[in-house]
Structure 1
Amino acid sequence: MKLMKHYRQHASFYRDLWIIALPIALQQLVTSSLNMVDTLMVGRVGVDAVAAVGVSNQYYFLLNMVMFGIYSGGMVYFAQYWGKKDLRNIHRLLGFTLVLGMGLAVLFTGMALFIPEQIIRIFTNDQTVMVLGAKYLKIAALSYPFMILSFGYSMGLRAVEKPKFSMIASVIALTLNTVLNIVLIFGLFGCPALGVVGAAIATLVSRVVEFILVLGFAYLKTDTMNPKLSVLLSFDRSLINKLMVTSLPVVINECFWGLGTTAYMVIYGMINVEAISIMNIVNSIFNIFFIAAIGVGNASTVMLGKKLGAGEKEKTYKEAILFLKIGVVLGVLSGILLVMCIPVMLRLYRDFDFSTLETMAYVLIIFAIGLTFRFINIINIVGIFRAGGDTKYAMLLELGILWSVGVLGTFIAVKYFRAPLIVVAMIVQFEEVVKVLLGIVRVKSKKWINQLV
């Protein structure tokens, strides 16, 4: 009865949350599921192949984090401008972020084409992994410009509460990616068995298709995310300056968070190649059970930003608390579900040694315990603080704890105490606990609430 009363009191909130969060969560589910399938298929080639694709994708991950920072900074303004129904300024800011994104994509693609071995060497000294990783990277990097453009328009569609279109594009493209992986990795229907090269070609083709679909949906199916080129390129200095003040901490946050996550991969490599393979698989499985957090976190950015843009500060605070409560419930449920699914997940990798599977199981349990804390942190940092323009605190919280507790702690544990992967995984999750404690204090202070437009 209490639950029904609560739902009736907040019916409009849950309706908006459902409309925004569900397509984003489904898109993330498809992405994470197919990434896990990719890892599973490449795993049939061998442990070295899994490690090669894993470390190659860490390079893409860095680009992705930089771009997520730029677009997330834009989302702070997109959401608040959407609260005022100011489409022109949304489109102008989108254009500026797209130009920045293309510049970075060209840079990352060029480096991957000309110095792939040097890039892979950052993560591992294993010669086999370096050779395989360089082959994969040179082809997959050609997809970066297409990914950047579709990513930008997808964020714009989320800001104007049209996330279903980018979800549909991702479902189609990533399904195509899986089909092509099966054909090209193993050489079906008369095609040669290309191994990791086949996986790279599948990634490139699927990203191009996704780009075409996202642009098609934006311009043919909406009247809110179909800006003319002249509007996209009509930069306004004062608007850009405002964006940079708020966005720069977000960009720094995402860049150094990406570097921190990459540092973890380097530290795993200090243990052995097996640890890289295990964590590549664990992360792909973990991301499936983290989808609800992605959906709710992104929805909180849009919904809270929209409320602030309309000047409803007290309602914004109450909804922020409600988002955190939802995060706790979903985090606990997702963690329990992950633990229950571990035996099924391990059977998918039954070709691995028993000791490898045993370590993987323990690491998955540790990550499952940490799920609730990660749910709260993504809602706080990506949703609440950024929606209110409190990006500096979000940056300090994220990076300060990541590097001082997580990266430094795991490095010392491996370098000087030769800690096993299970201990390293515990330290990684402890980082999330510290961030939760400091983040909740900030939320209750209400210092994050700022009306920017």
Structure 2
Amino acid sequence: MSVSSTKIQNQSLFNISWPLFIELALHMGMGVTATLMLSHYSDGAAAGVGVANQLLGIFILVFNVTSIAAMILIGQKLGANELHKARRFARSAVGLNFWFGMIIAALVVVFGEHLLQLFDIRGEVLEYGLIFVRICGASLFLESLSLALSAVLRSHGFTKESMIVSVLMNVISVLGYAISILGIFGLPITGVVGVSWTIVIARSFAVLVLLYLVYKRIALTFKVKDFIKVNKQDIRDMLYIGIPSAGENLSYQFSQLMITAIVASLGDASLAARVYISNISMICYLFTLAIAEGTQLLVARYIGGKQFDRALKRGIKTLRLAMIVSLIAALVMAFIGQPILELFTNNYEIIAIGLPILWAVVFTEPGRAMNIVLMSSLKSSGDVRFPVIIGIISMWGIAVTLSYALGITLGLGLLGIWLAQGLDEWFRGIFAFRRWKSKPWERVKVNRSMKSHA
């Protein structure tokens, strides 16, 4: 089945974003479900897996070097009606991600314990985290491949197919978690070990189905040579966009590592509360992530087709919608905070710490919405360096520095740390808004590849 250029050009934000919303909801829902189920197994297990997930998330961002770049570049080529170049970028992205995944999986398995200790965790929290890192870390190459394959499908407009894979993965995960933690069907309770292997099985399934869907929908197949010899110009073009994009995300993850260490110094109750609130706050920015990714795809196409005014208006419209929805969602979570927290734990010390944080989430989320929507749109427009520069300045100068100052020095604890992160989100969001309004594509080259392949 070939891709229709007309169909791609006429896709709306709604048509692209609603499957992304469901896919992200399912993905986040699995994280929340795993945390919720593990919290009834052990607060230490929930905290350990939460920290381990944060560590693995840092490495998964490396895979986004190519998957994010491929999505933008394929979108630009489709917008310019250069379908053969779009297909070549797709092959290059999958091949490059395969090697990234293999190398990083090996590093995580070998150095996992040392990396976890950077979070300043100990005891059973460290033990549970190490089990999760060793098992799930070995399967990171599968995650790398699935991210690249999903990016290929999404960039061609097939967001529903990617969503279907997430639905099937969730079915596998829920069943696996239930067996591992609840011991249904009379099977032994395996806890974190069982949860970890469930994720490996789900990732394996996802790669096989995505390969089939890429062939079925785009008529794109992969040969052994696609994994051995990747087009050098494609690598340069993807890294030109991907490295700054990943640099921003890596800076964020490493700053979060430092903040997690600060939280850990407050005690296990604060650390567990942070894990639970982080899962709850995902609900608030779920809608934002979906429409931001949909907008990123559309902006890339508009820029490729030189429809600059259309790109500008699309970014502003999405921004307004994202800020309103995220604020409403955060307010709802704050008003019904106690029943939600009680779903995760009956430890009243954790609940007492968490309740005020939900009101800090109300302050944080509109700023996060501004940041997410406009920074991703800037990358699609070719302005890839600005987000990482502002990100590094703000994450370390505001988020990390003020987390220690407000949380430790002034004694506000986790509340002070969350307020510091909110200030970071607003700072970056405001700068992104000013940058977007200045029409950055008029000052920078849209993409170096557009010159090299002209």
Question: What does 1:44-443 align with in structure 2 at a 5 Å threshold?
Answer: 44-220=40-216, 222-223=217-218, 226=221, 235-352=230-347, 354-382=348-376, 384-443=377-436
- 159-168 or 223-232, which deviates more: 223-232
Shift of 1:448: 4.0
Read off the aligned partner of 1:389 and give its amino acid letter: G
> In 1, distance between residues paired with 2:191 and 2:435?
49
Read off the aligned partner of 2:153 and give its amino acid letter: L
Encode CA deviations 1:191-234: one digit per residue, 9 max, x unaligned.
Answer: 211111111111111111122222222212x0265555656766
What SS class does the counterpart of residue 271 from structure 1 fall into?
coil
Structure 1 residues 234 and 198 mapped into 2: Cα distance closer, same or farther (>3 Å)? closer
Read off the aligned partner of 1:154 and give its amino acid letter: S
Structure 1 residues 289 and 381 mapped into 2: Cα distance closer, same or farther (>3 Å)? same
> In 1, distance between residues paired with 2:85 and 2:229?
10
What SS class does the counterpart of residue 300 from structure 1 fall into?
helix
Read off the aligned partner of 2:276 and give its amino acid letter: I
Encode CA deviations 1:76-135: one digit per residue, 9 max, x unaligned.
Answer: 212111112323322332333333323332233223333332222111242222222212
Q: Which residue of 2 aligns with 1:31?
A: 27
RMSD (Å), alpha carbons: 2.3
TM-score, with structure 1 as normaliser: 0.90
What SS class does the counterpart of residue 344 from structure 2 fall into?
coil
Structure 1 residues 356 and 14 mapped into 2: Cα distance closer, same or farther (>3 Å)? farther
Q: Which residue of 1 aligns with 2:3?
A: none
TM-score, with structure 2 as normaliser: 0.90
Read off the aligned partner of 1:158 and give its amino acid letter: R
Shift of 1:391: 0.6
Encode CA deviations 1:237-284: one digit per residue, 9 max, x unaligned.
Answer: 344333332332112222222212222222211221222211111111
Shift of 1:445: 1.0
> In 1, distance between residues paired with 2:360 and 2:9?
33
> In 1, distance between residues paired with 2:258 and 2:84?
40
Q: Which residue of 2 aligns with 1:4?
A: none
Structure 1 residues 77 and 408 mapped into 2: Cα distance closer, same or farther (>3 Å)? same
Read off the aligned partner of 2:251 and give its amino acid letter: F
Structure 1 residues 425 and 14 mapped into 2: Cα distance closer, same or farther (>3 Å)? farther
Read off the aligned partner of 1:269 and give its amino acid letter: A
What SS class does the counterpart of residue 41 from structure 2 fall into?
coil
Encode CA deviations 1:384-415: one digit per residue, 9 max, x unaligned.
Answer: 20110101011112222111100122134445
Read off the aligned partner of 1:282 and give its amino acid letter: I
Structure 1 residues 33 and 294 mapped into 2: Cα distance closer, same or farther (>3 Å)? same
Aligned residue pairs, count: 439
> In 2, distance between residues paired with 1:62 and 1:248?
14
> In 2, distance between residues paired with 1:38 and 1:179?
11
- 84-93 or 290-299, which deviates more: 84-93
Read off the aligned partner of 1:18 and give its amino acid letter: F
> In 1, distance between residues paired with 2:151 and 2:51?
26
What SS class does the counterpart of residue 403 from structure 1 fall into?
helix
Read off the aligned partner of 1:196 and give its amino acid letter: V
> In 2, distance between residues paired with 1:233 and 1:79?
25
Shift of 1:341: 4.1
Contact 1:26 1:291 in 2 (8 A): no
Shift of 1:370: 1.6
Contact 2:9 2:79 in 1 (8 A): no
> In 1, distance between residues paired with 2:185 and 2:267?
37
**Unaligned ranges ≥5, structure 2:** 1-7
Structure 1 residues 366 and 308 mapped into 2: Cα distance closer, same or farther (>3 Å)? same
Identity value in percent: 17
> In 1, distance between residues paired with 2:349 and 2:121?
23
- Give the number of the structure with larger relative contact order, counting CA–CA contacts within 8 Å between residues 6 or more apart: 1
Contact 2:92 2:234 in 1 (8 A): no
Structure 1 residues 62 and 291 mapped into 2: Cα distance closer, same or farther (>3 Å)? same
Read off the aligned partner of 1:152 and give its amino acid letter: A
> In 2, distance between residues paired with 1:13 and 1:320?
17
Q: Which residue of 1 aligns with 2:440?
A: 447
Encode CA deviations 1:315-369: one digit per residue, 9 max, x unaligned.
Answer: 22222222222222222332233334424312313422x2311221211221133
What SS class does the counterpart of residue 389 from structure 1 fall into?
coil
Contact 1:311 1:451 in 2 (8 A): no
Contact 2:364 2:421 in 1 (8 A): no
Read off the aligned partner of 1:328 and give its amino acid letter: M
**Unaligned ranges ≥5, structure 1:** 1-11
Shift of 1:451: 3.6
> In 2, distance between residues paired with 1:356 and 1:178?
26
What SS class does the counterpart of residue 257 from structure 1 fall into?
helix
> In 2, distance between residues paired with 1:389 and 1:224?
29
Read off the aligned partner of 1:346 and give its amino acid letter: L
Read off the aligned partner of 1:396 and give its amino acid letter: I
- 83-92 or 285-294, which deviates more: 83-92
Contact 2:407 2:417 in 1 (8 A): yes
What SS class does the counterpart of residue 425 from structure 1 fall into?
helix
> In 2, distance between residues paired with 1:248 and 1:140?
25
> In 2, distance between residues paired with 1:348 and 1:82?
46
Read off the aligned partner of 1:441 and give its amino acid letter: R
> In 2, distance between residues paired with 1:162 and 1:224?
13
Structure 1 residues 24 and 120 mapped into 2: Cα distance closer, same or farther (>3 Å)? same
Shift of 1:14: 11
